[in-house]
């Protein structure tokens, strides 16, 4: 089957937008591959971040209940694995695999139980929590809107969990989703113009060319354009928000051949080679239509964020990646990726901006792929994705939270969307 090349104007949105280069010096050349050599002598291996992520996934399976999280020590280039319960055999297996082992008191089950307590007793708009494997605790964050009785309630819940299980901190900003009016991906709604950013180009389950973006963008409008007053070029196929924050949007032209790259500005791009799991401590890069390219560090996994909805309630999203990478309105849906081209996340929301900093949360790509049935990369013309790395990335990942809060494409403008200002 013949395919016509994606129009130049459309190609600009197909890779997350071409904007000023901010962190490209760190992107090129790619990181060195991990050090070869067996770990029979139990000496920690030197690892690239992507290899550390893969090792963490494997150890989480083999160590079972003894595995209590892991993080990447970027200075030493080593994976640090937490082992709970005093299982000497688990410690030995982790060391033989090449990890640095740290014995901790809180098991994964205990940390998850703490998170459930927070969900039941402290689902307050403007709060979030995530497991920090570096401290082996749940870190609870309250934004500037959490005051008075809500602050007292949150403090009380954290106090009951105990200082050895949870910590509480304040954020100067306000948690919000990052959709806004402007350029990049555009949609018209009852509330005005909405702007978001494209995440990663994919092939839908039926072989159609498509892309991933944020769910709160997908429920805001059913059709999207690549220019503010232009005709629609893509239609929402699936969108979920709250619960998860993911959307699959198909190109209206079935012959579209959108590149599996992220444009990082100045004529440079990063080829996306497959889905990748986030690892606490690893360096990641974010591209967005408002603020361009920025980098930072993964600070937490399986994060829960309670966004303030426009109706005065709370829009809770779970299973997110927490980072210290900045973002601003309009960056929603944009790609989070690694230096060597691993697709990690889709920008959801957070607090702060790219002047003050703050926390930003991302929907894991692995969850989005499983939920939508899509594969990374363009179709090869026979309904199969050309990206060989996508399948492995889709088989690993966190819990699938796609079941809650699914909206029909083109749903009316409502909770969780940021109006044009």
User: Measured at the alpha carbon of residue 220, what is the angle toward residues 335 and 323, in degrees to the nearest 5?
Assistant: 30
Neighbours of 357 (CB within 10 A): 15
Q: What is the DSSP string of 175-242?
A: -EE--BSSSSEEEEETTEEEEE---EEEE-TTS-EEEEE-HHHHTT-SEEBSSTTSPP-EEEEEEE-S
The CA distance from 360 to 156, in Å, is 26
Which is catalytic among the residues 56, 128, 197, 216?
A: 216
Which is catalytic among the residues 332, 348, 351, 379?
A: 332
The CA distance from 280 to 14, in Å, is 28
Q: Judge whether 401 counts as a catalytic residue.
A: no
Q: Hey, is 397 helix, strand or coil?
A: coil
In 3D space, the residue among 129, 133, 107, 131 whose CA is nearest the CA of residue 120 turns out to be: 129
CB 258 within 8 A of CB 12: no
CB 312 within 8 A of CB 134: no
Q: Hey, is 52 helix, strand or coil?
A: helix
CB 123 within 8 A of CB 135: no
Q: Judge whether 163 counts as a catalytic residue.
A: no
The CA distance from 284 to 296, in Å, is 6
Tokens 């230096």, residue located: 339
Neighbours of 330 (CB within 10 A): 26
Which is catalytic among the residues 51, 245, 315, 387?
A: 245
Q: Judge whether 332 counts as a catalytic residue.
A: yes
Cα torsion angle, 278, 161, 164, 147, sign = positive
Active site residues: 216, 245, 332
């Amino acid at each position: 089957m013949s395919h016509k090349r994606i129009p130049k104007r459309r190609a600009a949105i197909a890779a997350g937008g071409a904007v000023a280069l901010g962190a490209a010096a760190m992107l090129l050349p790619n990181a060195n591959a991990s050090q070869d050599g067996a770990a029979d002598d139990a000496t920690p291996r030197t690892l690239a971040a992507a290899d550390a992520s893969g090792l963490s996934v494997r150890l989480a399976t083999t160590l079972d209940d003894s595995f209590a999280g892991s993080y990447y020590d970027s200075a030493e280039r080593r994976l640090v694995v937490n082992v709970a319960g005093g299982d000497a055999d688990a410690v030995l297996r982790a060391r033989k695999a090449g990890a640095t082992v740290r014995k901790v008191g809180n098991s994964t089950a205990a940390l998850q139980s703490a998170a459930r307590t927070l969900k039941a007793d402290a689902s307050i708009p403007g709060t979030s929590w995530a497991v920090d494997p570096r401290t082996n605790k749940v870190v609870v964050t309250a934004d500037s809107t959490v005051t008075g009785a809500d602050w007292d309630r949150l403090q009380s819940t954290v106090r009951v969990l105990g200082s050895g299980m949870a910590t509480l901190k304040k954020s100067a900003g306000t948690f919000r989703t990052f959709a806004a009016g402007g350029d990049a991906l555009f949609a018209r709604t009852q509330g005005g113009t909405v702007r978001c950013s494209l995440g990663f180009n994919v092939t839908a389950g039926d072989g159609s060319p498509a892309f991933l973006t944020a769910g709160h963008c997908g429920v805001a409008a059913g059709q999207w354009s690549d220019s503010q007053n232009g005709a629609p070029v893509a239609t929402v196929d699936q969108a979920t928000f709250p619960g998860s924050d993911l959307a699959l949007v198909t190109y209206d032209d079935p012959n579209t051949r959108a590149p599996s790259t992220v444009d990082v500005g100045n004529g440079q791009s990063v080829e996306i080679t497959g889905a990748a799991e986030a690892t606490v401590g690893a360096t990641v890069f974010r591209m967005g239509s408002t603020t361009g390219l920025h980098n930072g560090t993964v600070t937490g996994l399986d994060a829960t964020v309670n966004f303030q909805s426009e109706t005065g309630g709370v829009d809770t999203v779970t299973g997110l990646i927490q980072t210290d990478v900045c973002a601003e309105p309009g960056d929603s849906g944009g790609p989070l990726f690694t230096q060597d081209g691993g697709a990690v996340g889709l920008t959801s929301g957070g607090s702060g901006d790219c002047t003050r900093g703050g926390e930003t949360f991302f929907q894991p790509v692995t969850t989005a792929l499983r939920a939508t049935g899509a594969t990374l990369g363009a179709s090869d013309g026979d309904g199969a994705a050309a990206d060989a790395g996508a399948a492995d990335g889709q088989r690993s990942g966190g819990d699938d939270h796609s079941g809650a809060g699914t909206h029909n494409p083109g749903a009316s403008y409502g909770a969780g969307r940021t109006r044009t200002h």
